Copies of this chain bind each other. A is one copy, B any other.
Amino acid sequence: MQAGERLERIRVVLVRTSHPGNIGAAARAMKTMGLSRLYLVSPLAFPDPVAEARASGATDVLDNAVVVDTLEQALEGTVYSAALTARRREWAAPAAYVRDAVPELVARVQEGEVALVFGAETSGLTNDEVLRCTVPVTIPANPGYSSLNLGAAVQLLCYECRIAAVDAPPMEEAPRVLATFDEVEGFHRHLDDAMVRSGFFKPDNPGRLHARLRRLFGRIRLEREEVNILRGILSALERKS
């Protein structure tokens, strides 16, 4: 697979962006690095002339942007996703630095589409949104002032993707068939229902069970076959009880 093809398989997902100028800046940043697949989750204002102006010569990226209501919709069909997060979240896996994490993300394009996920300018991503992505990543920054502009953060990540795409090793002979985002979500829903019905999980006292299970299954990057097996086990156990 050529570098250009790899980059075409990377989605940039912007969640609840407030300023259309940042959407335009993100489009321009993407195009300079050879990315083109922009997903917008509930943008405050889009389309918008300010976005067009800031996109400069990259309005084609805006024209082809996919606007959806939820992060789940934006991640549908992806096999790997990285959530950009600035602050440390105590319950989450420690975020990897983008330079260390991006090569794996780019390598995963051999198995399907992947995504870089960015939260809103001020509030970032919710805990639940970070957990729905495969890995949390962070940009090394001045601890006294770590607030990168959204467009600048997109530029940095796309730049790392471009370098990783050019450096990436050739495709493996028989790539693993990873489960897509929606297949993994289906498994989590199944597991959740089973836990509730069995009395193991009490929805009115959730604690950190969901977070821990998502960390666990996020780490092992489930294959499609494995999801089928796990769901088969769940179904079998439920029939028995």
Q: Interface of A with B (CB < 8 Å)?
A: 25, 28-29, 31-34, 54, 56-58, 99, 139-142, 145-149, 151-152, 155-156, 159, 162-163, 166
Instruction: Select which of B25, B56, B146, B151 is within 8 A of A32 by beta carbon.
Output: B146
Instruction: Select which of B25, B141, B162 is within 8 A of A33 by beta carbon.
Output: B141
Report whether B58 and A149 are in contact in the complex, using a CB–CB cutoff of 8 Å. no
Report whether B99 and A148 are in contact in the complex, using a CB–CB cutoff of 8 Å. no
Knowing A99-B163, A162-B141 touch, does A32 contact B156 (C-beta < 8 A)? no
A12 nearest CB across to chain B (Å): 14
Given contacts A56-B147, A58-B145, 5 further A-B contacts (CB under 8 A): A29-B148, A32-B145, A99-B163, A140-B162, A148-B155
Report whether A163 and B140 are in contact in the complex, using a CB–CB cutoff of 8 Å. yes
- Bound Cα distance A56, B152 (Å): 13
Most chain B beta carbons < 10 A, residue from A29, A33, A54, A155: A155
A206 nearest CB across to chain B (Å): 35
- Bound Cα distance A65, B99 (Å): 30
Instruction: Select which of B58, B139, B146, B166 is within 8 A of A140 by beta carbon.
Output: B166
Report whether A34 and B142 are in contact in the complex, using a CB–CB cutoff of 8 Å. yes
A187 nearest CB across to chain B (Å): 37
- Bound Cα distance A31, B152 (Å): 13
Report whether A25 and B162 are in contact in the complex, using a CB–CB cutoff of 8 Å. no
* A34, closest chain B residue (CB): B142
- Bound Cα distance A151, B149 (Å): 10
- Bound Cα distance A31, B162 (Å): 25
21 contacts across the A-B interface (CB closer than 8 A)? A25-B149, A28-B147, A28-B149, A28-B152, A29-B149, A31-B142, A31-B145, A32-B146, A32-B152, A33-B142, A34-B142, A54-B149, A56-B149, A57-B147, A99-B163, A139-B159, A140-B159, A140-B166, A149-B155, A152-B155, A155-B156
